[in-house]
Amino acid sequence: MRKKLIAGNWKMNLNAKMAEQFTKLMKETVNTDTADVVFCVPFVHLGMVKSILAGTNIKVGAQNMHYASNGAYTGEISGQMLASMEIPYVIIGHSERREYFKESDTEVNLKALTALKEGLTPIICIGETSKQRKSGRTFSVVRKQLAFAIDEMTAEDITKIIVAYEPVWAIGTGETATKEQAEEVCALIRDEIKASHGQTAADNVRILYGGSVSPENANELFSMPNIDGGLVGGASIKSTFEKVVNFE
Ligand code: PEP
């Protein structure tokens, strides 16, 4: 039985004071009995958020990492650095990074493999654009991004990753995929993993949906058989986030 996981992606939001106040509020209100909860916060807040949440079951994650362990990459943060801070999760290949920072499928794969090597859990994002969906290419795009992302992973590696299906047209737009649209693609991802890495890997891998998840639609989305929770942007920095986590 896969436990649900709700990951909040704060993106580039909240200054230090706001992050401190919001984390304290979340510590009081978020109930982790039914779902694993992760806050993926800006690098500069990782230490503070982690220390406020110490003693709770809420985990902290980063929103990106470099695939090299160290070196002359000014402004970058490595997986090794995250691991040394005992940050267990990291988002890899978010569509905003793919679009604005031109991250390629190859880089996404390198980052995911490095994250695993460092003992981190990569939350690997894949999903089609509006244009790709409208031209009937959703399945082929998702298949290709997935195949690149998990290249060279073993079946055991697969059980340690999280895949987030995030249709680009649904991110930050308020236009959520229907539960049927989201389920169909999450089921495709599980089928692809079964074909490439076997039944056990497919049964164990957690597949999230992301794209304008809110307290209003969380229940119907997360109740679908192949959707194991969500990657939540805008709604994760609102006081009502606990309603997304406790969606039932
Ligand atoms: C995201 O940042 O991954 C995301 C899904 O954002 P939003 O929930 O705001 O659409």
Per-residue HEC secondary structure of 124-170 comes to EEECCCHHHHHCCCHHHHHHHHHHHHCCCCCHHHHCCCEEEECCHHH
Strand-pair partners of 35: 4
pLDDT in tens, 86-97: 999 999 999 999
**DSSP H/E element including 5:** strand 4-9
Q: How far apart are the first and last CA of the chain?
A: 17
Q: What are phi and psi of 45, to 5 degrees?
A: -100, -5
Give the amino acid at 196: S
Which residue's CA is minimally distant from atom 8 of ligand 1?
233
Are 120 and 89 contacting, i.e. CB atoms less than 8 angstroms apart? yes
Instruction: Supply the pLDDT for residue 72.
Output: 98
Rounded to a whole number of angstroms, the CA Rg of the chain reads 17
Contacts of 155 (CB under 8 A, 6+ apart): 197, 198, 200, 201
Sign of the Cα pseudo-torsion (208, 209, 215, 218, in order): negative
pLDDT at position 248 is 81
Instruction: Tell me, in angstroms, the distance from the centre of ligand 1 to residue 231's CA.
Output: 7
- Ranges of the chain with pLDDT below 70: none
- Which among 6, 10, 14, 171 is the best mutation to test ligand 1's pocket, defined by most ligand atoms within 8 Å of the CB? 171
Catalytic residues: 94, 166
Using the mean position of ligand 1's atoms as its centre, give its distance from the Cα of residue 213 in Å. 7
Residue 1: the pLDDT is 80
Tell me how far apart the alpha carbons of residues 103 and 125 are, in angstroms, rounded to a whole number. 12
